[in-house]
A and B are shown apart, each in its own frame.
Chain A
Amino acid sequence: MADPVLSVRDLRVEFPTRRDLLVGLDGVSFDIHQGEVLGFVGESGAGKSITGAAIMQQIAAPGRIAGGEIRLNGQRIDKLSRTGMERIRGRHIGMVFQDPLTSLNPLMTIGDHLTETIGVHLGLGRRAARDRAVSLLEEVGIPEPAERLRSYPHEFSGGQRQRIVIALALCAEPELVIADEPTTALDVSVQAQIIALIRRLCDTHGTAFMLITHDMGMIAETADRVAVMYAGRVVEIGRVADIVAHPAHPYTQGLIAAIPSLETDAERLRQIPGAMPSLSAIPDGCVFHPRCELADDLCRTRRPVLAGEGDHRTACHRTAQAEYAP
């Protein structure tokens, strides 16, 4: 297989506080290949957004990347200077945030948004930048793009605004797009359209796509592979089809069982009891053991590592082997 576009190894993010040191991400590893959609799921606070922010070096101080490496096309980017990172962001990695209204500068026309971003990355002149802005808007499905250049963000609907944000993220044709819950703030009716749009654009440009969401159903429909996060760690990663059909980690099993459309058996459609630990109270051993029915002494003391054959890897002492060694 070709080298991955993005390769993350043992990523560790720390938030020093007055009292102690919170570990936001601990030993996170994954690859994303060209043209691939990697989904990230997990409940609120699992560390999905931090993972995206760490790749972009947008962790707010005093939070910091404390270990591991991030490689883009083989080059380390986790130690780049501010100006070095300015050449990566937007140019090589595009980012789409949750709320398209607050993502845009309310005092600037979307034409100015687009031409400034195009100008910074592609160094085009005014006319050429404008032409490119028009064709980008057309590509993301904004009607009458030439006229709409003069409009301000508040003059668009939520779905249209997210299309504009996507156009901005894709201005310079980055190799990777990170979308952090790109549809959560939108009307249910346009969510599928937005996801389909991102998917289509990534397909036509061969862009790798990291999709962060807590909607397992959306992952099942959109992603090629999925990483399940829990308390700052990746607990299971693999092909979506594999994981939906044979979830190995008890937490993933709970997530899958909670998708109404995939699981008709009402008996198994249930919530996992308990709550995810906060960063200040991460348990020893397996982070999931306080909520796990299968937990034993090993789970309470030794931390499991991601293991398994081929693509499908799970961090669980109890089920990882069982699933693959019948």
Chain B
Amino acid sequence: MIALVVRRLLQSLVVMLVVTLIAFIMFRYAGDPVNQMVGVETTEAERQALRESLGLDQPTLVQFVRYVGRVASLNFGVSFQFRRPVMELLAERLPATLELALVAAMLSLVSGILLGVYCALNPRGRISAALQAVSLVGVSLPTFLIGILLIYVFSVALGWLPSFGRSGLVPVTKHWSTGLLTLQGWKSLLLPAVTLGLFQMTLIMRLVRSEMLEVLRADFIRFGVARGLPQRRIYFRHALKNTLVPVITVVGLQLGSIIAFSIITETVFQWPGMGLLFLQSVQNVDVPIMSTYLLLIAFMFVMINMVVDLLYNAVDPRLKGSSRV
């Protein structure tokens, strides 16, 4: 187990280095950083001085090594448009995105598993057929359309929920104000979370359903029935556990993509998270924010991947002690 953790950590490090290289190339070559930072009336001599002070006259390799050093010490530079450290800007936006993503993930995970199990246990039922059909729509509709539809129904037509923004915040620490402690906070969170989680929910539901149907056909289920185990036990002890093992991987990666793809949802709902910040920085070619966001998302995927792998190992006894790569 420890060997596995070490190997995984090393692999993660390599992946992060590669991503850092991409971020570096983006940072270095997506427009001239000096031009972005100075006004039109700056003289060539001043530009040259700035270039030297930023180390941009050094060989590329030296620049890259320095860049890696800065990234490792969490110094991501200063945003062009806000003239503030990127780290600070992202830290301000992090709570909004994390709360949205976590609620969306929990929502999609719980309802996806419940509905998937229901469909697998009642494969011929009318409700199952309806759920299957609806889930197909959920998978194929683009997220922004779902968001707009939800806004139209619940904000415009019914007027139950706010259509945009994050509200009802309560400060928890200096950097973290949460919307999870007030009704108002939950109200403004609900529509974006449903929008963000719907795609994942339908995906998880369909996955759990097909996976569980497969497991229910397995010999050990037949043998469990033949041993006289009660149906409840067969379903929820034997079948469910075997269903969820392969589901772990997919769900883990889905969590990563929920955070990554919150960009669209945050835009539709004007949710003040990192995704919205990223979109603004793309419009303004604010390269430090873009490259940092890239690094952050990559880091998250790498971490999730590692956790999923270790979890898989802990759950499935067949993998214990083996060297799965």
Which A residues have a C-beta under 8 Å from some C-beta of B?
56, 58, 82-83, 86-91, 94-95, 97, 99, 102-109, 116-117, 120-121, 152, 154, 165, 168-169, 171-172
CA distance A56 to B222 in the complex (A): 11
Q: Which of A104, A107, A120, A121 contacts B223 (CB 8 A)?
A: A104
Q: Select the stretch in B33-41, B169-177, B188-196, B238-246 that faces chain A.
A: B238-246
B230 — nearest CB in chain A belongs to which residue?
A86
Residues of B within 8 A of A104 (CB): 220, 223
Most buried by A among B223, B227, B238: B227
Residues of A within 8 A of B237 (CB): 116
B59 interface hit (Cβ, 8 Å): no
B224 interface hit (Cβ, 8 Å): yes
A-B contact pairs, 25 of them (CB 8 A): A82-B231, A86-B230, A87-B228, A90-B228, A94-B227, A95-B226, A95-B227, A97-B219, A97-B222, A102-B218, A103-B222, A103-B223, A104-B220, A104-B223, A105-B238, A106-B317, A106-B318, A107-B245, A107-B315, A117-B227, A120-B228, A121-B228, A152-B317, A169-B226, A172-B228
CA distance A105 to B245 in the complex (A): 13
CA distance A97 to B225 in the complex (A): 12
Interface residues on B, range: 20 to 34
- A86 and B231 contact, CB distance less than 8 A: yes
CA distance A83 to B229 in the complex (A): 10
- Additional 4 contacts, C-beta under 8 A, given A82-B231, A90-B227: A86-B229, A107-B316, A121-B228, A169-B226
Q: Which of B225, B230, B242 contacts A105 (CB 8 A)?
A: B242
- A97 and B227 contact, CB distance less than 8 A: no
B7 interface hit (Cβ, 8 Å): no
Residues of A within 8 A of B231 (CB): 82, 86
Residues of A within 8 A of B70 (CB): none
B220 — nearest CB in chain A belongs to which residue?
A105
- A116 and B222 contact, CB distance less than 8 A: no
B66 interface hit (Cβ, 8 Å): no
Residues of A within 8 A of B318 (CB): 106, 152, 154
User: Closest CB-CB distance, B132 to chain A, in whole Å?
Assistant: 19
Residues of A within 8 A of B218 (CB): 102
- B223 and A165 contact, CB distance less than 8 A: yes
User: Closest CB-CB distance, A207 to chain B, in whole Å?
Assistant: 15
- A120 and B242 contact, CB distance less than 8 A: no
B84 interface hit (Cβ, 8 Å): no
Residues of A within 8 A of B317 (CB): 106-107, 109, 152, 154
From DSSP, what is the main secondary structure of chain B's interface residues? helix
CA distance A154 to B319 in the complex (A): 10
Contact pattern, B 281-304, Cβ under 8 Å of A = 1, otherwise 0: 000000000000000000000000
User: Closest CB-CB distance, A155 to chain B, in whole Å?
Assistant: 8
A180 — nearest CB in chain B belongs to which residue?
B226
Residues of B within 8 A of A165 (CB): 223
Residues of A within 8 A of B222 (CB): 58, 97, 103
Q: Which of B219, B224, B225, B229 contacts A99 (CB 8 A)?
A: B219
CA distance A90 to B233 in the complex (A): 15
CA distance A82 to B230 in the complex (A): 9
User: Closest CB-CB distance, B321 to chain A, in whole Å?
Assistant: 10
User: Closest CB-CB distance, A300 to chain B, in whole Å?
Assistant: 39
CA distance A82 to B228 in the complex (A): 10
User: Closest CB-CB distance, B253 to chain A, in whole Å?
Assistant: 22
Residues of A within 8 A of B227 (CB): 89-90, 94-95, 117, 120, 168-169, 171
Contact pattern, B 257-288, Cβ under 8 Å of A = 1, otherwise 0: 00000000000000000000000000000000
CA distance A109 to B318 in the complex (A): 11
A56 — nearest CB in chain B belongs to which residue?
B226
- B219 and A89 contact, CB distance less than 8 A: no
CA distance A82 to B231 in the complex (A): 9
Residues of B within 8 A of A120 (CB): 227-230, 233
CA distance A168 to B228 in the complex (A): 11
CA distance A82 to B229 in the complex (A): 11
Residues in B299-325 with C-beta less than 8 Å from chain A? 315-318
Most buried by A among B220, B222, B226: B226
Residues of B within 8 A of A82 (CB): 231
A85 — nearest CB in chain B belongs to which residue?
B228
Residues of B within 8 A of A121 (CB): 228
Residues of A within 8 A of B220 (CB): 102-106
CA distance A101 to B315 in the complex (A): 19
A165 — nearest CB in chain B belongs to which residue?
B223
Residues of A within 8 A of B223 (CB): 95, 97, 103-104, 165, 168
- A105 and B224 contact, CB distance less than 8 A: yes
User: Closest CB-CB distance, A228 to chain B, in whole Å?
Assistant: 25
B218 — nearest CB in chain A belongs to which residue?
A102
CA distance A117 to B227 in the complex (A): 7
